[in-house]
Amino acid sequence: MRTKILRFALVLSLIFNMTSFSYGWGKVGHHIIVEVAKNYISKNVQDSVTKYLGDMTWESASTWMDELRGDSKFDYMKKWHYINIDKGGQYDTTIEHGNNVVKQLEIAINNLKNKSKLTKEEINLNIKVLFHLMGDLHQPLHVGYGNDRGGNDIKLTFNGKQLSLHRIWDTDIIESKNTTNDVLSLLSKTSHRKIKKMAKGDIVQWFTQTREALNLAYSYTDVIGEDYINKCYPVIENQLLLGGVRLGSILNEIFKN
Ligand SMILES: [Zn+2]
């Protein structure tokens, strides 16, 4: 009997793993974004944000929204990680009644700009949402097309494994390289003027800019080879850098006092 239950549980977990939806850059991608932001902001701003995070590190705060999957208390956040718009379509504020990454980022930033009206717990929650969604906003397949659920339905072969296009962008290309070092070194080599330029704009403009990488993402072949990785990797590095710099710029503005 026990073996049967175990076997049943194993089958269930296999099914779950096969059909589960990817929720954002993998851990590494989110960690890079907060690390870049930390390097970009002033010491005072960093201390202030750290204080609101309490026991949590910046890294764990950045992936908190992925880790609460399965906790029904937070089911209302399920759709916040992405937005689906068909090719050629435009953003509009009514998509999914605002339950999407663009609108929810605007809300979190606005909440934090008025943080004097919030409790410490509310500030903590909004920072975690901001950290995570600034990452997701910069992953092209999180702002992709609805017909294949942001590349989740496209199955390709990567290093001998069957993986979705979405997951290859979230995790596998990043983990196949020394991405953390590469992005931090890119940050150190980028001029102050260029970084200031990167930080300009608003959430909708950044969403539009991230979508520009979709044509590249969709230029795959059934078996992912070095050529695809080599052409996508610089874009992935740049998206992680942009996400981090822009997160830093938002934090500077909100927590400077
Ligand atoms: Zn996510």
At residue 68 the predicted structure's pLDDT band, cuts being 50, 70 and 90, is confident
How far apart, in whole angstroms, are the C-alpha atoms of residue 213 and residue 239? Answer: 9
Predicted local confidence at residue 66, as pLDDT: 93
Question: What are the tens digits of pLDDT across the range 88-143?
Answer: 999 999 999 999 999 999 999 999 999 999 999 999 999 999 999 999 999 999 99
CA of 133 from ligand 1 middle (Å) equals 6
Q: Is the pLDDT of residue 57 over 80?
A: yes
Please state, for a pLDDT cut of 90, what percent of the chain lies above it: 87
CA distances for 135 relative to 24, 99, 145, angstroms: 7, 17, 18
Local confidence band at 8 (pLDDT 50, 70, 90 cut-offs): very low
Torsion, Cα of 214, 218, 224, 228 (10° steps): -60
Cβ-defined contacts of 250-253 (< 8 Å, 24+): 250/109, 250/130, 250/134, 251/37, 251/41, 251/45, 251/49, 252/40, 252/41, 252/42, 252/45, 253/113
Q: Is the pLDDT of residue 19 over 80?
A: no
CA of 61 to the centre of ligand 1 (A): 12
- In this prediction, residue 27 carries a pLDDT of 93
The pTM of this model reads: 0.90
Average pLDDT over residues 225-239: 97
CA distance linking residue 2 with residue 102, whole number of Å: 47
Task: Report how far ligand 1's centroid is from the alpha carbon of 155 (Å).
Answer: 20
CA of residue 3 to ligand 1 center, whole Å:
35
pLDDT surpasses 80 at 10: no
Distance 6 CA to ligand 1 centre (A): 31
pLDDT tier at 12 (50, 70, 90 boundaries)?
Answer: very low
Name the nearest CA neighbour of 169 among 214, 202, 128, 127: 214
**pLDDT tier for residue 69 given thresholds of 50, 70 and 90:** confident
CA dihedral 230, 88, 142, 75 (to 10 degrees): -170
pLDDT per residue as tens digits for the range 132-179:
999 999 999 999 999 999 999 999 999 999 999 999 999 999 999 999
pLDDT value at 22 more than 60: no
User: Which of these, 223, 106, 104, 202, lies nearest to 156 by C-alpha position?
Assistant: 223
Could you tell me the residue ranges of all domains in the chain? 22-255
Question: What rounded mean pLDDT belongs to the chain?
Answer: 91
pLDDT in the model for residue 13:
42
> pLDDT class for 1, splitting at 50, 70, 90?
very low
Q: How far is CA 117 from the centre of its chain?
A: 27
**What is the whole-number distance in angstroms between the Cα of residue 220 and the centre of ligand 1?**
23
The pLDDT assigned to 17 comes to: 40
| Residue 23 banded pLDDT, cuts 50, 70, 90 | low
Among 3.90.1300.10, 1.10.575.10, 3.60.40.10, 3.30.70.380, name the CATH number for the domain at 22-255.
Answer: 1.10.575.10
Residue ranges near ligand 1 (ion) with Cβ within 5 Å = 23-24, 81, 136
